[in-house]
A and B are shown apart, each in its own frame.
Chain A
Amino acid sequence: MKQVFVKGPITPDFIATSIAKHQSKYEIGAHNIFLGQVRADEVRNRKVAAIDFTCYEKMANEVLHDIREKAFRTFDLTCLHIYHSIGEIKVGEVCFFVFVSAKHSKDVYEATEYLVNAVKKKAPIFGKELFEDETHQWKVNKTW
């Protein structure tokens, strides 16, 4: 099982290092990256300050394994990486990083869209939206 969950925000350094690691893979001609960032949503005059992510890790790892396998079966990919934050992530910080590499651009675009949607829909990840006034509400993805 590949390690998906990262404690804390996904930093620009982490993303840059991930890109650098692929420079020795000469069969790759196209990379595509999706970054999910915590947004300062406003709900009845309360502004989101952070999201506290938790997950059912045992199930999430299995679901993500299946999602990854399906992506490899469906698209002609060289490699793909999925990272998701756990813990409190402040607005403006990155909590979700999908990185797809292939010979050609068409595959990376289509695979990225599939992966982002599948993770949102199928992975048991939960988000507590923490407001600036210290109240909270639970985030619900539109695909639920």
Chain B
Amino acid sequence: MATIRYFGIVAEVTQRNEEYIEIENMNVSEVWNLLYAKYDLSTLNARVALNQRLVDLNSSITVNNNDELALLPPFAGG
């Protein structure tokens, strides 16, 4: 199972902070599209981090079980 984590306004839209999904032969772009359709993330200006590193939404990097993928809204620190 891969862990999917949601933060800020993304968590508000998905109504959860995290969930676990079974991943088989999927890359970042495919997982993003799956979640995008599931929660209608179209209005959100989100970015994706794979194992705590920002990656492109269209990235073809493989997501493995035990990976952590996070959907991050705009940063607001400071």
Q: Give the residue name and chain of the A residue nearest to B44 (CB).
A: A138
Q: Which of B1-27 contact A (CB under 8 A)?
A: 5, 7-9, 12
- The total of interchain contacts (Cβ-Cβ below 8 angstroms) comes to 74
Q: Assuming A54-B8, A56-B70, A138-B9, is B76 touching A126 (CB within 8 A)?
A: yes
Chain B residues positioned under 8 Å from A120 (CB to CB) = 75, 77-78
Task: Tell me if A121 and B75 are in contact (CB < 8 A).
Answer: yes
Q: B31 within 8 Å of A by Cβ? A: no
Q: CB-CB < 8 A to A141: which residues of B?
A: 74-78
Total number of B residues with any Cβ neighbor in A under 8 Å: 18
User: A-side interface residues toward B, CB under 8 Å?
Assistant: 36, 51, 53-56, 58-59, 62, 84, 95-96, 116, 119-128, 138-141, 143-144
> Chain A contacts of B7 at CB under 8 A?
54-56, 124, 126
Chain B residues packing against A (C-beta within 8 Å) = 5, 7-9, 12, 45, 49, 52-53, 68, 70, 72-78
Closest residue to A64 on the B side, CB-wise?
B77
- Per the bound structure, the CA–CA distance linking A6 and B75 in Å amounts to 18
- Chain B residues, Cβ within 8 Å of A128: 8
Q: Are A56 and B74 in contact (CB under 8 A)?
A: no
A112 to B45, CA, bound (A): 29
- Contact partners of A53 in chain B: CB under 8 A: 76-77
Chain B residues near A140: list those with CB within 8 A.
45, 74, 76
